[in-house]
Structure 1
Amino acid sequence: MTPTRTTRLLPSAYRPLLAHATFRRLLPAMAVSDFGDGMSAVAVAWLAILIAPPGRAGLLLGAAVAAYSLPGVVGALVLGRRLRRVPARRLLVANASLRALCLGCVPLAWAAGLLNPVLYVVLLGGSSLLSSWGSAGKYGLLGQLLVPELRLAANALVSSSSSAAMVLGPAVAGLLVAGIGPAWIIGLNALSFAVLALQVGRLALAAAPAAPTADHAGSGLRLLRGQPELLGIIALTWAFNFLYGPVEVALPLHVSRDLHAGAGLLGLYWACFGVGAVLGSLAVGGLRRLPLWPVTLGIVAGWGVVLLPVGLAVPTAVSLGCFALGGLIYGPFNALSFTLFQQRTPAALLTTVLAVRGAALLTSDPIGTALGGPLTSALGAGPVLVGSALATVLLAVGAAVVATVVRAGGGSALTPGRDAVG
């Protein structure tokens, strides 16, 4: 089937994207690495459980999941002076290459009998050192490639690719764990990042915006300080991700201890979430304008509501349905957020601003995850899931009160003319 005939089968919002030759080559490479990360959602946690000392599974699981992302904050701060001048494509290639190298060492160390908890956490931490810059490069590259009218649809399509990977990746990983083991699944993830680095490095692109100078970097920070709307989204996302962090520890232990099930069921939970998120992401990509704060606060509150039954010992089929609904609710969140930043940030500052955003947000989920380890060990998986759900609903209520007060006071961040994306 020709590309022209293929695009005719798509919703109108997506047709110009898949008619864009460079984006059409870039999307499969991103999808491959998303699939690898989807498999690692199960493999990283399960390998931590396997190699943990007796009675320390929760602590090592929290440390491993945190190490898979938290060092990106260090990379953003320590390497910022150098990397904020690097073009978006090179940032994406550098991050993918480092992840391929470090994650590739995990199965090699496992096969050699050298993989212990310390080495495992170190390798996971090394793989995530440039993750903040890699994400900035990814969405900075999309902002460079596409006109503003196509960015929401592109971000939604990329987000739906990531969500689709949470359908297929965990399901495949759940099946492969018994056959090849979680260490080799992480090795497949390393291979997927190698594919991404190779494909992005081969793209032929137009000249990028002028690289920011040191003064531009300072201007990027000043831009954020002068944009309450952008700062508000960062703050809300930080708290949202922080409260989600304990779920990544509690859910695997809920599956293995409370439900007495294996990696297959854990993969099914993430797959159900991914199905919902794909549908949610694709739906928002077809829309033109959305009220930012009502939608984002609704997403936060909705996730908290559907997570609550999972920790209340409802039947497994019901909790799986809740995860699917949670994915549907959450799906539009990242696409809306990145589109807002792409539209409100000058092109020359976009990568720097996105890296600052990424560095700030990288602390949230890992800190929540790290706290989830001892909390789950002390309280059990069910109470931690319930607590995360209730706190998330309270977050949405509190943020709505703050937004209402700001709007009543005439705050520019929430005026009707600016309270929308698309």
Structure 2
Amino acid sequence: MDSRPVTSAADSPRRLRRPSWAGRNYTLLTAAAIATNLGSQGALIASAFAVLDTGGDGGDVGLVAAARTLPLVLFLLIGGAVADRLPRHRVMVAANTLNCVSQAAFATLVIAGEPQLWQMMLLSALGGTGQAFFNPAAEGMLMSSVSGPQASRAFAMFRMAMHGAGLGGAALGGAMVAAIGPGWVLAVDALAFAVAGSLRAFLDVSHIPARKPGGGLLSDLRDGWREFSGRPWLWTIVAQFSVVVAVVGAAEAVYGPLVARDSLGGAGPWGLALGAFDLGTVGGALLMTRWKPRRLLLAGSLCVFPLAAPSAALAVPLPVGWLCAVMLVSGLSIEVFGVSWMTALHQEIPEDKLSRVSAYDWFGSIAMVPLATAMAGPAEVAFGRTASLWGCAVLVVVVTAAVLCVPDVRNLTRRTKAVAQGVAAPDRVPGSADAEGAVGRLG
């Protein structure tokens, strides 16, 4: 007589229908990312309008944005080394706790009355510090949670869920800011960090080999640098994105809310525009679950060009409907790059160096953001808002065209054979290393 529980027959089909790459860690990471993106997109709008509601101008908005990004830049490399040395899920939970506390304090100040500029800058800086430790740990944890030829699809599905939550968060956040004020939106973001941290506490790291202490933190950073700097496709794309992220960040965090206030009708329309961008990223992620371009970085880099379009649309400025259409297309395009980039890192980087390489990636990509956001206000005074936005658009086009001149970017090829996660196969693909025996990669 069969002694198996009667529920096993029902459970088995569920297990069979579940994709092989959607394991426990992947599911928890996806659920936590949904929670944080629901809150953070609304908080991005809320923080800008919290400054404007106290009588601040574009320069003040830029200072608050820069205050968040500066510690993110300062502590990223340390965060990457720590995440490759300690259990990554513990680093993620600690960072989420700091983000929760800082956003809750920010919300309390805004709801209670008129917060001072220095208070908003200080709390934003605490949130940026948490992100500096969270980002490398999270990227390393995600990449170690999937393996095999379906990694690209897994990353696309993760990003689709994340951006889908961002879509809802941006639209809802903009509406909530207009209806009940920015303080309550910041409170929702604090709650979202609490939920996400609780989920990430249950991540399983038993499959990740214990890391030897090695030569200390500086030695770990040097290893990560060697892994990064020796591969031209890594550092050139990171250099490209140091400019792209800076100018797009200035346009979105500073000029966007100002154009929305003066020409589009306020926080609600701007929230719709940001939501359209997120809708585009969902569509791009859905596309990448099916499309697997052979030349990963060539296809991805070509899709960076449309990131110039939102700045140009704000410079005109286009009506809300057309602005949303531009944001939709740019979101779809950049997601092709995002999935291709994660696939390239997963394919090329050893697992025990993922967080350090990710830290150099993040560091290079956002290093210029504090300067760009802080200078956005003075640039508007010196050149005018329209000229500044056109300048942002031109810079995106120029640096993207430049990176396509690098052979390794054009030639790095997707491997068709499954390889061990994060370990380079012996048959190096064209462009993954140059004739000088290059080592690392990043971006």
With the length of structure 1 as denominator, give the TM-score of the two structures: 0.87
2:263 aligned to which of 255, 258, 270:
258
How far off is 1:293 after superposition? 3.4
Measured against aligned partners, the alpha-carbon deviations of 1:383-417 in whole angstroms (never above 9, x if no partner) come to: 3222211221122222223449998xxxxx99367
Change (3 A) 1:306 1:150: same
Residue aligning to 1:410: none
Measured against aligned partners, the alpha-carbon deviations of 1:346-378 in whole angstroms (never above 9, x if no partner) come to: 111111221222222232333322222222344
Q: Does the 8 A contact of 2:273 with 2:320 survive in 1?
A: no
How far off is 1:192 after superposition? 0.6
1:360 aligned to which of 364, 372, 383:
364
Residue aligning to 1:139: 139
1:50 aligns with 2:65: no
Residue aligning to 1:415: 430
Change (3 A) 1:217 1:386: closer
1:163-182 equivalence runs, <5 A? 163-182=163-182
Residue aligning to 1:373: 377
1:337 aligns with 2:345: no
1:15-54 equivalence runs, <5 A? 15-18=19-22, 20-53=23-56
More displaced stretch, 345-354 vs 69-78: 69-78
CA RMSD in angstroms, aligned pairs only = 2.9
1:301 aligns with 2:305: yes
Aligned-partner residue type, residue 370 of structure 1 = A
2:236 aligned to which of 232, 239, 246:
232
Change (3 A) 1:99 1:306: closer
Change (3 A) 1:4 1:286: farther
CA distance in 1 between partners of 2:345 and 2:250 (Å): 28
Unpaired runs of 5+ residues, structure 1, are 9-13, 408-412
CA distance in 1 between partners of 2:335 and 2:101 (Å): 30
Residue aligning to 1:284: 288
Unpaired runs of 5+ residues, structure 2, are 1-9, 412-427, 435-443
CA distance in 2 between partners of 1:152 and 1:92 (Å): 23
Identify, as 1 or 2, the structure richer in helix.
1
How far off is 1:141 after superposition? 0.9
Change (3 A) 1:405 1:287: closer
How far off is 1:153 after superposition? 2.1
Q: Does the 8 A contact of 1:42 with 1:267 survive in 2?
A: yes
More displaced stretch, 81-90 vs 277-286: 81-90
CA distance in 1 between partners of 2:187 and 2:401 (Å): 42
Aligned-partner residue type, residue 226 of structure 1 = G
- Match of 2:85, SS state, is coil
Measured against aligned partners, the alpha-carbon deviations of 1:103-153 in whole angstroms (never above 9, x if no partner) come to: 110122234436211000110110110313311111211222221423322
1:214-233 equivalence runs, <5 A? 214=216, 215-233=219-237
How far off is 1:229 after superposition? 1.9
CA distance in 2 between partners of 1:7 and 1:302 (Å): 40
Q: Does the 8 A contact of 1:159 with 1:281 survive in 2?
A: yes
Q: Does the 8 A contact of 2:80 with 2:136 survive in 1?
A: no
- Match of 2:69, SS state, is coil
How far off is 1:190 after superposition? 1.0
Residue aligning to 1:73: 73
With the length of structure 2 as denominator, give the TM-score of the two structures: 0.83
Q: Does the 8 A contact of 2:407 with 2:431 survive in 1?
A: no
Change (3 A) 1:210 1:5: closer
Regions of 4+ moved over 4 Å: 1-8, 77-84, 402-407, 416-419
CA distance in 2 between partners of 1:196 and 1:285 (Å): 25
| Number of residue pairs aligned between Structure 1 and Structure 2 | 405
Residue aligning to 2:274: 270
Q: Does the 8 A contact of 2:43 with 2:185 survive in 1?
A: yes
CA distance in 2 between partners of 1:323 and 1:141 (Å): 30
Q: Does the 8 A contact of 1:246 with 1:385 survive in 2?
A: no
Residue aligning to 1:11: none
CA distance in 2 between partners of 1:378 and 1:6 (Å): 61
